[in-house]
Structure formats: structure tokens, C-alpha cells
Structure 1
């Protein structure tokens, strides 16, 4: 098995605000005030959509470069909704300021569905949870 990414999350003294460390970056995650948070950073689902959108944009840019296509400034808009049974629905919309023909658009939409984060979300991921060994023993 090949490691793709890792992250650690540490609480702060501020209710739901947490420090996220990944790939040498420190981010904050929180909940909005309506959920009891301080709004000090994006909520976890915001990061999920940001991850999907960024992966889609990067994948499309790489594909376009290989094809020699100028795809201009990409914009990926995403929303996540849940139905009454709790099933999640993500809507992704892609636009660009470049003039692309229907064949190019069809191929870009196919490639978007093959981006790594898209595939992970569609296939699901096995998650195991364990108790870490105490640090101060």
C-alpha cells in the first residue's frame, strides 16, 4: 500500500476550532456560529468540497497541457446537500473563459469524473479507528 497523504488535527481552547497540519501547512477548521463554533476557519465539509474542486482543476489542467489545449481560467463550483435519508449529493459545475468546442468539453467532463479525489469519493474508503498510545508514559 502506498501512502498518499497524512494529516493531524489538534484541538484549541476555542470550542470547535482545531488546528490541521498536513503537507507542511497549518490550517484551521471550525464550525459557524450557528453550530456553536467561532467561524475561525472552514468547516470539515468545506474542506471536502475544496479538496474535490482543487483535484478536479489540477487534473483538468494536467490533461489540457498534455493535449496542448488552452483552457484558460477554470472555475469549479461545488455544493453538497443531503436528503432526508442522509445520502449525500455533490453537484460540481465547471466553467472556463476559453473557447472550447463540444468535443473538448465532453472529454474534460469525462476526465473530471476520473480525478483521484472523485474516484475516492465514488468508491468510498475503508476507515479504521484506533486508540493511540499515550504520549506521556
Structure 2
């Protein structure tokens, strides 16, 4: 399946290798890092958002639906009791019929990364319609 190789020379900055790609991970300066890349939770949220968007695009393309621009915003939350969750918002720049929105909502709930993360924490998704 998928794998990555991580290298850390010193400090909190990390070099991540995934196939032929090189990514960075770090912590913000306020958390002791040098801010040379996204923090680990930001990378986790990026994986969820990317998987959501590309899965929706593949599905819509197969159906012949034009979604326009897809935007996905994801936030990691931890409440006062230590309970963790993710809030995700999905936006299409082109309006969609109600039945299409329902089908697309069913698709984003079944994306591979969504299914993996939902095994350990809740993900709440809202749809922001085109204006």
C-alpha cells in the first residue's frame, strides 16, 4: 500500500519522502520548531482534505457533473475534556441539484482517509453551497 520514509537531522524539522516526492514537516516557532513546513496535524488534515476533493472530482467526472472549483477546509478540534474531532467543510463553485448534493455527501463520507480516521474520531462535514 502506501509508505513514507522520514529523516530528521536535528531539531523538529522533518523531511518526508513519499515515492519521488519530498515534503517538510515542522512545528511553528512558538511550539519550538522553525516553521519550515506544516505541523503533523496539518499534514493529517491535508490528507483528509485532499482525499475528499480528489475522490469527489473522480466521482463527478464519471457522472459527467461539473462541480467547478472544489474547496475543502478541515479543522482539528480538542475540547476541554480532551475529546478530539474533525470538522470538514466542502464547497463547490458551481451550484448542484439537491439529489446530486446528497450523492456527493454520501461519497465524501466514504473516502478512504475519512473511513480510516472515523475509526478513532468523529468527523462532522458541512456543505457550503455556491453563492
TM-score by length of 1: 0.84
Which position in structure 1 is the counterpart of 2:4? Answer: 7
1:115-134 paired onto structure 2 within 5 Å: 115-124=111-120
Runs of 4+ in 1 over 6 A off after TM superposition: none
Instruction: Give the superposed CA RMSD.
Output: 1.0
Q: Which has the higher contact order (CA 8 A, sep 6+)?
A: 2
Tell me by how many angstroms 1:24 deviates.
Answer: 1.3
Structure 2 spans left out of the alignment, 5+ residues: 121-131
Larger Rg: 1
Query: Number of aligned pairs?
Result: 120
Structure 1 spans left out of the alignment, 5+ residues: 125-137
SS in 2 for 1:40: coil
TM-score by length of 2: 0.87
How many Å separate the matches in 1 of 2:102 and 2:115? 18
How many Å separate the matches in 2 of 1:88 and 1:24? 33
Confirm whether residue 112 of structure 1 aligns to residue 108 of structure 2.
Answer: yes
How many Å separate the matches in 2 of 1:29 and 1:39? 8
